[in-house]
């Protein structure tokens, strides 16, 4: 059936290129090319705001077989700049499916490319590092596409949070014993669902909301959410964190973890090819237990840059990078991985319980 699809090119900034066929929208797109090792969950990946600015490669070879449904969205729309798969399934079958992946990408003008050697692409990225690239169905000039790839902004130094954060306050859940304010740097719906499970009111506010405005909600706890891009490019969120630290329980997730790391005096750096997938082993240094976690980040907090009052709680067993911290005195902790369980395993959902217990403890002392 590929003869009905338009030929497409994926060209990387170092000159490496792959020929394939388009699905979804046609045209041209650019971004940082990364790979995700999850075997399923492509709908959640596509709609995760943390992928803004990136072209995502799925390492699992067959994608699209269960279509797209109305339940597995992590935000209102897809955010990826492009989508790369080995084989797009022309037939989808699932009792919840409402449309095909191809139809979904067309509707949201996301360009996909299939038929390329995703294993070779993944190995190239692992060796050379994540790099910028272009997918095109219109321009077949390799040299020209290399220039376009090199000139695209990428993610380093880019504030992508401003593109994905909500524009005004809104409520996920209006009833509950405690009130949690979520600072939306690109929050996933799964995080909001997990908080709501603990009988909490959930208020979501834009990333640029200042600490004084957040405290007007009289929250029992604050969460700094996941999100896209370079954590050093959002000093306004870090400043908010500095003002809130010590006033109430705080939980940081992914980009939120990097924000809190900076607010406590740490620094961040770019990983060679990032961590993206649902199978990353993380060790809890306090218990010795290993959790298989969902990860999606291209930057990391430098362990050596953190002050004495910060305890290292979690370490990535792939490369020994930082995966979790807590303050030794104040009610604050954060993790680099995603404890909400979609897509991926449920190993880390206990962290929401810990946050709820922290809120309960602080209220008892109040």
254 assigned to active site: yes
Q: 155 with 228: CB under 8 angstroms?
A: yes
Helix (H, G, I), strand (E, B) or coil at 207: coil
For residue 348, give the nearest of 180, 187, 231, 194 by alpha carbon.
Answer: 194
Q: Quick check: is 243 in a domain?
A: yes
Are both 201 and 320 inside the same structural domain? yes
Catalytic residue chosen out of the listed positions 254, 275, 297, 300 = 254
Catalytic residue chosen out of the listed positions 257, 276, 280, 338 = 338
Q: What angle do CA 231, 193, 310 make, to 5 degrees?
A: 40
Are both 165 and 147 inside the same structural domain? no
- Reported pTM: 0.96
Quickly count helices (H) and strands (E) in the chain.
10, 19
Residue with tokens 């080995």: 86
Are both 172 and 318 inside the same structural domain? yes
Q: Quick check: is 261 in a domain?
A: yes
Q: 17 with 135: CB under 8 angstroms?
A: no
The domain in which residue 335 lies consists of 161-365
Residues 358, 359, 363, 366: is their CA dihedral positive or negative?
positive
> What is the chain's pLDDT, residue by residue, as a tens digit (366 residues)?
444 579 999 999 999 999 999 999 999 999 999 999 999 999 999 999 999 999 999 999 999 999 999 999 999 999 999 999 999 999 999 999 999 999 999 999 999 999 999 999 999 999 999 999 999 999 999 999 999 999 999 999 999 999 999 999 999 999 999 999 999 999 999 999 999 999 999 999 999 999 999 999 999 999 999 999 999 999 999 999 999 999 999 999 999 999 999 999 999 999 999 999 999 999 999 999 999 999 999 999 999 999 999 999 999 999 999 999 999 999 999 999 999 977 667 888 899 999 999 999 988 876
Query: If residue 131 lies in a helix (H) or strand (E), which one and from where to where?
Result: strand 131-136
Determine how many CB atoms are found less than 10 A away from the CB of residue 151.
12
Are both 96 and 181 inside the same structural domain? no
User: Based on the structure, what is the number of domains in the chain?
Assistant: 2
Are both 259 and 306 inside the same structural domain? yes
362 assigned to active site: no
300 assigned to active site: no
Are both 173 and 39 inside the same structural domain? no
Q: Quick check: is 156 in a domain?
A: no
Q: Quick check: is 325 in a domain?
A: yes
Are both 199 and 320 inside the same structural domain? yes
Q: How many Å apart are CA 283 and CA 222, to the nearest integer?
A: 25
């Amino acid at each position: 059936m590929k003869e009905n699809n338009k030929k497409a090119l994926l060209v990387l900034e170092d000159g490496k290129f792959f020929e394939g066929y388009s699905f979804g929208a046609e045209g041209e797109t650019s971004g940082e090319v990364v790979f995700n090792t999850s075997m399923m969950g492509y709908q959640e990946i596509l709609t995760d705001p943390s992928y803004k600015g990136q072209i995502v490669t799925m390492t699992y070879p067959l994608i699209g077989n269960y279509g797209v449904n109305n339940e597995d969205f992590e935000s209102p729309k897809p955010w990826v700049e492009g989508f790369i798969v080995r084989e797009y399934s022309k037939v989808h079958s699932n009792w919840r499916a409402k449309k095909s992946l191809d139809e979904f990408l067309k509707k949201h003008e996301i360009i996909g490319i299939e038929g390329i050697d995703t294993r070779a692409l993944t190995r190239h990225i692992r060796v050379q590092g994540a790099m910028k690239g272009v997918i095109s169905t219109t321009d077949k000039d390799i040299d020209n596409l290399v220039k376009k790839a090199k000139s695209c902004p990428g993610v380093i130094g880019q504030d992508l949070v401003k593109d994905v954060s909500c524009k005004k306050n809104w409520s996920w859940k209006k009833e509950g014993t405690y009130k949690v304010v979520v600072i939306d740097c690109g929050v996933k719906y799964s995080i909001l669902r997990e908080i709501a499970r603990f009988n909490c009111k959930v208020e979501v506010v834009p990333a640029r909301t200042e600490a004084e405005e957040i405290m007007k909600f009289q929250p029992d706890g604050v969460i700094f959410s996941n999100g896209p891009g370079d954590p050093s490019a959002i000093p306004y969120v870090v400043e908010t964190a500095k003002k809130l630290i010590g006033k109430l329980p705080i939980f940081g997730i992914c980009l939120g973890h990097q924000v809190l790391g900076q607010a406590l005096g740490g620094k961040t750096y770019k990983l060679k090819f990032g961590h993206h997938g649902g199978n990353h082993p993380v060790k809890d240094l306090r218990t010795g237990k290993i959790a298989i976690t969902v990860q999606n980040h291209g930057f990391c907090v430098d362990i050596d840059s953190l002050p004495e009052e910060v305890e290292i709680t979690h370490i990535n067993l792939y490369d020994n990078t930082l995966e979790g911290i807590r303050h030794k005195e104040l009610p604050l902790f954060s993790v680099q991985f995603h404890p909400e369980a979609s897509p991926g395993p449920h190993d880390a959902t206990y962290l929401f319980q810990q946050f709820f217990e922290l809120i309960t403890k602080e209220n008892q002392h109040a």
